Amino acid sequence: MPYGYLITVAVAGWFVFFALVPLHGRFLGRVSFRSGLVVNELPFAALAWLWLSTAVAAAQGDLATPAARAVTAAAVLASVALAVIARRSARARPVIDQALTTGLGVPAATAPLTWRRRAALLLAPLPVRPRHVQRVRNIAYGPADKRNLLDVHHHRSRPTGGPILIHLHGGGFTGGRKGREARLLTHRLASRGWMCVSATYRLRPGSRYPDPLVDTKRIIAWARAHAAEYGADPSRVVVAGSSAGAHLAAMAAFTQGDPALQPGFEDADTSVAAAVCLYGYYGEVYEDGPATSALERAHDGAPPFLVAHGDADTCMPAEEARAFAARLRAVSRAPVVHAELPGAQHCFDLFRSPRFEALVDGIEVFTAHVLAGGAGTGRKDGVSGRSPADAADRRDGTPPRSAAARAGRAPAAPPRPDPSG
């Protein structure tokens, strides 16, 4: 029995199972997330690893016994499952195109993949910073020491007039670090001439809400004040976030210029032109009350939103993003793009995967439209992405307080600190 090959196939099978069939629940959901994330985003890398192990075992003459042939059959089944996972990931692009068209109210589509980009996705799945993008690290923007630091990514040539992107990390308001998620997004936009900011903010223990939101507003004010140093246009700021960071991005978009949330810098301009929320949490922040709920704070003056969430997210159910997008559509006058990504887990933005590549293309289309003053307001009765249930949920104009409430159960708790963000 080739025990090394057996262990390889068993480990691959474990990862593939949880990527293909994510299980929900507090414990099983975390197991599914931790076990299946990498394979779910990089199925071709897993397939190459499995085939290489099979080829090595065959070259060593280890596949002649009945037991070895059974292990090989298991490897074949895992390969078929990986092909299904890859196919599911490829469905993200048409879903995003549909979401853009529906949400913006005008025909919109992402750029098709060239062969060069396809090769890069297969051969370089980790988001490595391009040589023409420079990073300036650990700039202090507030008084909270290491929890008030930011990095700036910008094009080395410092072209003038580029917009500003601010990205906030996840971590359940108790953990996380800047620059961990959405690196492909910040690298891409910086290479296009944007000034991209990734920042830390105050966490628990040691702080409570709205401290992280106050920090978010400090970041916006800092970016505006220093935009000229990086050739950026301070009038075009987009705020984005992943998981808990998406909550902060949404709250910053809903509370622009609120002096109660800007102690010591009440007169600073903290307005934003748009918000991008990735696999976000939108409910109340622990015990701090309904005023901390992004779902409750949505209003008719909100800026354009792009909300992206995976339908296989076992850390934060997709129903919560559907309810948030429905609430936005019901009250906001601005476009709302909601893309529910087939098969995507939490933290789908950690890699340069086909799925996240497609979403970054979509974010470029979305930001180009709204920053250019696109007049489309989206279809209030339409669906974005793949969620036909959305339309039914909002036909009466009164979406539920949360998807959990619609299902007759308690709202989901905020994500706890773990690598999921």
Residues 254, 297: Cα–Cα separation, whole Å: 6
Place of tokens 């987009």: 238
16 exposure class (CB count in 10 Å sphere: 0-12, 13-18, 19+): buried
Question: Which residues, 6 or more positions from 277, have their beta carbon under 8 angstroms from its beta carbon?
Answer: 240, 241, 246, 249, 250, 305, 306, 307, 308, 321, 324
How many CB atoms within 10 Å of residue 409? 10
Reported residue count of the chain is 421
Place of tokens 């006058």: 333
Catalytic residue, from 233, 311, 313, 349: name it.
313
How many CB atoms within 10 Å of residue 377? 17
SS3 126: coil
SS3 75: helix
Cβ–Cβ < 8 Å for 338, 384: yes
Assess whether 243 carries a catalytic annotation.
yes
Assess whether 167 carries a catalytic annotation.
no
Catalytic residue, from 187, 247, 309, 346: name it.
346
Cis, bond preceding 399 (omega within 30 deg of 0): no
Assess whether 145 carries a catalytic annotation.
no
Cβ–Cβ < 8 Å for 322, 338: yes
In the sheet that holds 305-310, the strands lie side by side as 133-140, 149-155, 195-199, 162-168, 232-242, 274-278, 305-310, 336-341
- Tokens coding 169: 């990390």
Catalytic residue, from 32, 35, 243, 353: name it.
243
Residues 190, 197: Cα–Cα separation, whole Å: 10
Cβ–Cβ < 8 Å for 62, 5: yes
CA nearest neighbour of 337 among 404, 278, 412, 253:
278
For residue 237, list its beta bridge partners: 164
The residues that are catalytic are: 243, 313, 346
